[in-house]
Amino acid sequence: MRPDPDCRLCGLWENRMNMVMPSGDPDSRVALVGEGPGSAEDEAGIPFVGRSGKTLMRILAEAGVDRSELLITNAVKCRPPGNRDPKTSEMEACRPFLEHELSKCEIVVGLGRSACRDLLGFSVNMSEVANRDMTLRIGNRDVIFIPTFHPAACAYGKAAQDGLRITAERIARELRR
């Protein structure tokens, strides 16, 4: 299930250049979920291709993971104006599409506080929950949920970089088992 190409379920359609649909392997056991597209993603129509995406791909590559091995998506498919966090109503509008995208995954990685809040349904303190397995309900089944730092946070501190590296190493192990 994909959104209609002219989707208007929320107001984000008004400013988008492109809907940003998932990339990578739709049958992967592991999915990475960000909050929403940035300007580079909106222009390209592909998630995580801007500065944050380059940071994420570098850290994944260091762990031996290629983006083609993962499902990479966002909680919302259109860029929020001014790069603000998506509103709850916007995330709710895209939720059926996100759940369909994640329906084959065994492990879902939430990239950043906003994505984790949308997926879990409550706010978390990233420094307290990063890389701690949680349970996430997708459809009628439970999957492993791993909250971690958004790659943009790596620019502001070593703790976020280290946390994202730990996540990347875990992803590599999970993909190889």
pLDDT digits (tens, 9 = 90+) for 32-45: 999 999 999 999 99
- The whole-number average pLDDT for the span 144-154 is 95
The whole-model pTM stands at 0.95
In sequence order, which ranges of 2-157 are alpha helices (DSSP H)? 39-44, 51-62, 88-101, 113-120, 126-129
Contact by Cβ (8 Å): 130, 111: no
**pLDDT by residue (tens digit) across 71-108?**
999 999 999 999 898 999 999 999 999 999 999 999 99
Query: Domains in the chain, please, with CATH?
Result: 28-176 (3.40.470.10)
Tokens in use for 117?
């809040």
